[in-house]
Every structure is written in structure tokens, then in C-alpha cells.
């Protein structure tokens, strides 16, 4: 049984093995629990309610996660579309404004969405979802050398990853390379939804540079495109569909970012040497 829980991590007893033998020890591991999202919508006189999704996520920042999830799935367009959100441990109840007529076909999930899968349980083709940017993407250029120091800056503030080794991170940077915000989660897409939701809630413009701790799959590109994030940099590799859609949305996509090198897959007009 866990000795202690701190939302995003759990302290448990383990047996540690090495070539010298084994010994009793303790370890922090990343928390993973289901978040049940229910949504209420309709006119004042005719309100409806339904279960929208079960998301496997790391507890913490649930408010931001719900906002980012609803936005990236096309249920809402702005934070002001939400009348109220009530979160309680592993559940969230969302009330939409009466004027909103949401379309749920792209966001409905009739099974658990695993923390490693951003599209699991969907009932329609997620690649058909029209998630082109709602606002124009910036074409401002960034010097290539700025990116080399970003992974170290992000790692410094990955508090829960440094404890557990089991959490992904998404971070926003400005054009000068300053860290603006960072969110962690056992799921890559959840970390990004938390980051986007937090930005929407603050009603500040989306920063132009997004850094990801892992690989880049197509649903990550779709979320970034929906939020009009111009530059996506990742420590890991992109998939073929991620590159295809980054080019389609005119996003700058960087992969395998290290201390002194990276691969550029699309949007080279924003990067200067």
C-alpha cells in the first residue's frame, strides 16, 4: 500500500535489485487515475446532460485539463463558452453557456482513453476533424541556436518527473527562450491539454513555441494547430502523419532536439541560422 500520495506521485515500498543483491527501499511512481467528464448543455428551459469521456490522467490541474480537452476536441471555441466547471476528485461536471450548440461526434469516447492514447475510444475518424487554426499563425523567425538550451530549461522545472521518471511534460516558451508555463502528466496529450487549458483560462495569447518531452504523434499536431501554436519542438521523434499534418497546417516541426542539434521536418521559413 502507498505510504503517501501527492496527487501526481505515490510513495511505495519496493525491493531494489543489483549485482550486489537486493534490499528493501522506497520509490516515487507517477499517479494514474480516471477522470470522468460529464457535460451539460442546451437552452435554459431545455438542458441536457451526458458523459463525454473517461480520461486516464495524472491527477492535478484537472480544471485546465478539462478546458484544454474540450477546446482541442472542438466542443468549445473559447473559455467563455463555459458557464461553470466543478471538479471533485476523479470527476468533472461542465456546464456550457445556453447559446452554445456543441458538436460531440469528434469528442465522444465510449471507453477509457488510455494515458498513452489521445484517440482511443473515438466513434468517428479523428483525422477528418477540421482543426485548422482559428487565428493566423505567426511567421516570425527564430534563431536556430535558441532551441538548444530549451530542453535543460524544461527539465529543471519537471519537478514530478525528477521524482518519478514517469511523466511527460509540455512547456511554452517565448521568442527569447524564456519558459512561460509547464505542465506534466502521464499522458503526452494530457500534458498539452493542461497547458492549452491553462492558457485559455488566463485569456492570454498562445505562445509561439511549444516544447514536448517525448515523441510527436498526429493528435499532438492537431491540438497545436487548433491552438494556433506556430512552432513545435520535441525531444523525441515525429510520426509520418505528424509531419504530414504539420506541413498541412503550416507548422514548424522540430524533432530529436538535443544540446547542439535538431531535425527540421516542416516550416523551415521560421528558422534562421
Which pLDDT tens digit goes with each residue over 162-200?
777 779 999 999 999 999 999 999 999 999 999 999 999
Q: How high is the pLDDT of residue 8?
A: 81
Q: How high is the pLDDT of residue 103?
A: 81
Query: How far is Cα 119 from Cα 179, in angstroms, rounded to an integer?
Result: 29
Q: What percent of the chain is predicted at pLDDT more than 70?
A: 85
Catalytic sites, residue numbers: 117
What is the average per-residue pLDDT within 217-231? 95
Q: How high is the pLDDT of residue 159?
A: 81
Instruction: For residue 273, name the pLDDT band (cuts at 50, 70, 90).
Output: confident
* 258 pLDDT above the threshold of 90: yes
Question: How many secondary structure helices (H) and strands (E) does the chain include?
Answer: 6, 16
The distance from CA 24 to its chain's CA centroid, rounded to whole angstroms, is: 36
User: Sheet holding 168-173: strands in order across?
Assistant: 179-185, 168-173, 209-212, 231-234, 252-255, 263-266
Residue 77's SS3 state is: coil
Contact (Cβ atoms closer than 8 angstroms) between residue 87 and residue 219: no
Residue pLDDT, tens place only, 84-108: 999 998 999 999 999 998 887 655 5
* 5 pLDDT above the threshold of 50: no
Higher pLDDT, 116 or 96: 96
What is the average per-residue pLDDT within 12-17? 93
Contact (Cβ atoms closer than 8 angstroms) between residue 82 and residue 76: yes
* 111 pLDDT above the threshold of 50: no
Q: What percent of the chain is predicted at pLDDT more than 90?
A: 71
Domains of the chain: 33-124 (3.10.20.10), 142-272 (3.40.140.10)
pTM of the model: 0.87
Taking all residues of the chain, what is their mean pLDDT, rounded to a whole number? Answer: 87
User: Sheet holding 91-96: strands in order across?
Assistant: 82-88, 91-96, 33-42, 47-57, 112-113
Amino acid at each position: 500500500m502507498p505510504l503517501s500520495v501527492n496527487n501526481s506521485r505515490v510513495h511505495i515500498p519496493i525491493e531494489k535489485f543489483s549485482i550486489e543483491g537486493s534490499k528493501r527501499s522506497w520509490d516515487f511512481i507517477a499517479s494514474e487515475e480516471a477522470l470522468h467528464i460529464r457535460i451539460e448543455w442546451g437552452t435554459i428551459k431545455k438542458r441536457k446532460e451526458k458523459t463525454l469521456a473517461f480520461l486516464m490522467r495524472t491527477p492535478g490541474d484537472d480544471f485546465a485539463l478539462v478546458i484544454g480537452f474540450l477546446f482541442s476536441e472542438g466542443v468549445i471555441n473559447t473559455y467563455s463558452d463555459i458557464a461553470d466547471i466543478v471538479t471533485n476528485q476523479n470527476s468533472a461536471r461542465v456546464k456550457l453557456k445556453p447559446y452554445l450548440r456543441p458538436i460531440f461526434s469528434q469528442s465522444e469516447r465510449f471507453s477509457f482513453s488510455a494515458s498513452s492514447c489521445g484517440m482511443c475510444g473515438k466513434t468517428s475518424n479523428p483525422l477528418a476533424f477540421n482543426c485548422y487554426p482559428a487565428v493566423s499563425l505567426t511567421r516570425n523567425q527564430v534563431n536556430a541556436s535558441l532551441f538548444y538550451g530549451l530542453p535543460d530549461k524544461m527539465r529543471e522545472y519537471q519537478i514530478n518527473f525528477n521524482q518519478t521518471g514517469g511523466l511527460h511534460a509540455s512547456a511554452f516558451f517565448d521568442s527569447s527562450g524564456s519558459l512561460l508555463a509547464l505542465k506534466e502528466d502521464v499522458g503526452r496529450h494530457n500534458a498539452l491539454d493542461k497547458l492549452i487549458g491553462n492558457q485559455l483560462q488566463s485569456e492570454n495569447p498562445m505562445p509561439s513555441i511549444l516544447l514536448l518531452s517525448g515523441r510527436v504523434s498526429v493528435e499532438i499536431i492537431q491540438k497545436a494547430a487548433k491552438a494556433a501554436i506556430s512552432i513545435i519542438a520535441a525531444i523525441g521523434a515525429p510520426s509520418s502523419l505528424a509531419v504530414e499534418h504539420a506541413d498541412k497546417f503550416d507548422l514548424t516541426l522540430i524533432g530529436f532536439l538535443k544540446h547542439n542539434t535538431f531535425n527540421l521536418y516542416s516550416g523551415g521559413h521560421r528558422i534562421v541560422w
